Amino acid sequence: MYDFDRIIDRSETNTYKFDLRKSYFGEEDVIPLWVADMDFAAAPEIHAEIQKRAAHEIFGYTIRKDDFNEAIKDWCEYKHAWKIQTDCIEYSPGVVPALAFSILGLTEPGDGVIINTPVYPPFHSVVTSNGRELIKNSLIQENGKYVFDFDSFEQEAAKPSTKLFILCNPHNPVGRAWTKEELLKIHEICIKHNVVVLADEIHSDLVWWGKQHNAFALLNDEAAANSLTFMAPSKTFNIAGFNTSYVISSNPKLLAAYRNTQNRLQVHLGHVFSSLALTSAYNLGRPWLKELTTYIEDNIQFVDSFLKSNLPEIQMQIPDATYLLWLNFAEWNMSQKELKDHLVKKAKVGLNDGMTFGAEGKGYMRLNVASPRSILHEALERIVATKPV
């Protein structure tokens, strides 16, 4: 029903992914498989609702009606079996801004915030740019699978200055959908040492092959009361440009600290399309997401099969979640700069530099598979054609 093979020209639409190729990579003609949005048309049901509103000639200050919270409640119950009360929800202009507001509202300058590296680059900057101490707790690999280093994590959490932990669940870029057992261990450590959990669950709807997303707040009432959860339809439905997300917490004090900071900065209103984008996605986008899920799963398997057949030295683990692949180029024996230059200047393929996710990303690149399969095939063929001898 939905055509995910259709190639859509995104150039000259002020899109980060395409129109910043020259400034980011230094080359205009790379295939951009980096920024975490999709090269697929949004669901036509969403498009129709936006067009309907855009046909009106006035774009004034806009309120969020009850349907905003109701769509969130219905979606979370449908997708995650999570029943949420209306007073536990607050609007946000985006997950990264929400993390910043939470850090400002719940900590003081110099307080410590733990992140699990390698991790989404804004997790680093959202801490340091707000004058807090960044505590990097490295994930470790066991049999090729990333896991928590719980001993190290507890040592960091036990420091008196440590106040927050930013959990990436599912994890970007390594693709883990954390198990209940892993999350319970994290919860036990954080409760023991009075560390509040900020759970970024923006990729929670994109879990593959029937695996389950485990929301941190669903572990138990204590975990729910010691956390703020951040979700959005942006990754799920490819509508990040509408800048709409939301925060969930059953703890009124935590939610008030968040809300007060957001209000103080005067960014609580949203814009004319933000509420409509969310409600139309959650209420009308389910058939589209079902077909997208199959297409992305097939794309992941396509890349995995292609690498094994043509570039076996490039290692990857099939992700539990996200449309992002964490590729290990270590066997190419290149410096990170040499690796980046090779892919950009010789292969003409634009991937995310693994080092931007932390020092643990040395030798890695992140590839976004949310593109038509023909585009992925061309990019991989370019890498094969230019692989070092």
Whether 219 and 294 map to the same domain: the answer is no
Has residue 84 got a pLDDT over 80?
yes
Answer yes or no: do 176 and 115 share one domain: yes
Is 106 part of a structural domain of the chain? Answer: yes
Out of 228, 259, 284, pick the residue that ends a domain.
284
Residues 116 and 23 placed together within one structural domain of the fold: no
pLDDT band at 269 (very low <50, low <70, confident <90, very high): confident
Same domain? For 218 and 97 the reply is: yes
Residue 103 located in a structural domain: yes
User: Are residues 85 and 182 located together in one domain of the fold?
Assistant: yes
* DSSP character at residue 363: T
Task: Give domain status of residue 49, yes or no.
Answer: no
What is residue 12's predicted lDDT score, i.e. its pLDDT? Answer: 84
- What is the amino acid identity at position 70? E
One domain for residues 190 and 150: yes
Q: Which of 80 and 268 is assigned the larger pLDDT? A: 80
**CB-based burial label for 46 (10 Å; 0-12, 13-18, 19+):** buried
Burial of 183 (0-12, 13-18, 19+ CB in 10 A): buried
Lowest-pLDDT range, 242-256, 265-279, 358-372? Answer: 265-279
Co-location of 267 and 325 in the same domain = no
> What local confidence, expressed as pLDDT, does residue 69 receive?
97
Among the listed residues 363, 382, 278, 350, the one whose alpha carbon sits nearest the alpha carbon of residue 35? 350
The DSSP call for residue 273 is: T
DSSP 165-203: EEEESS-TTT-----HHHHHHHHHHHHHTT-EEEEE-TT
Same domain, 211 and 301: no
Tell me the H-state helices in 208-366: 221-225, 234-237, 252-264, 274-284, 286-310, 336-341
In a domain, 8, yes or no: no
Q: Is the pLDDT of residue 389 over 80?
A: no
Give the type of residue at 129. Answer: S
Cβ atoms of residues 46 and 238 within 8 Å: no
- The separation between CA 268 and the C-alpha centre of its own chain, rounded to angstroms, equals 22
Domain of 215, CATH number, reads: 3.40.640.10
Cα–Cα distance measured from residue 337 to residue 211, given in angstroms and rounded to the nearest whole number? 36
What is the number of domains present in the chain? 2
Buried b (16+ CB within 10 A) or exposed e, 129-160: ebebbebbbbbeeeeeebebebeebbebbeee
Q: What is the pLDDT of residues 158-172, one digit of tens each?
A: 999 999 999 999 999
Q: Other C-beta atoms within 10 Å of 215: how many?
A: 23
Phi/psi of residue 112, nearest 5 degrees: -95, 140
Which of 250, 284, 318 terminates a domain? The answer is 284
Q: What is the mean pLDDT of the chain?
A: 97
pLDDT for 91 equals 97
Nearest Cα to Cα of residue 348 among 22, 121, 38: 22
Q: Could you report the per-residue pLDDT of 371-387, keeping only the tens digit for each? A: 999 999 999 999 999 99
Residue bearing tokens 């991989």? 380
For 183-226, the pLDDT digits (tens) are 999 999 999 999 999 999 999 999 999 999 999 999 999 999 99
Q: Is position 263 within any domain?
A: yes
Do 182 and 300 belong together in one domain? Answer: no
Angle, alpha carbons 372-378-379 (nearest 5°)? 95
pLDDT band at 241 (very low <50, low <70, confident <90, very high): very high
Is 3 part of a structural domain of the chain? no
Q: Does 203 reside within a domain?
A: yes
SS3 152: helix
| 370 pLDDT more than 90 | yes
- Express each pLDDT in 38-72 by its tens digit: 999 999 999 999 999 999 999 999 999 999 999 99
Judged against a pLDDT cut of 80, whether residue 328 lies above it is answered with yes
Residues 339-365, mean pLDDT to the nearest whole number: 98
Range of the domain at 30: 16-43+286-386
Task: Evaluate whether residue 217 is within a structural domain.
Answer: yes
Residues 191 and 233 in one domain: yes
The conformation of residue 207, written as its DSSP 8-state character, comes to: B
Tokens 């959860």 sit at which residue?
229
pLDDT of residue 375: 98
How distant is the alpha carbon of residue 149 from its chain centre?
A: 22
Asked if residue 174 has pLDDT above 80, the reply is yes
Last residue of a domain, one of 234, 259, 284: 284
Does 232 share its domain with 134?
Answer: yes
The enclosing domain of 37 has a CATH number of: 3.90.1150.10
> Do residue 118 and residue 139 come from a single domain?
yes
Predicted local distance difference test score (pLDDT) of residue 11: 85
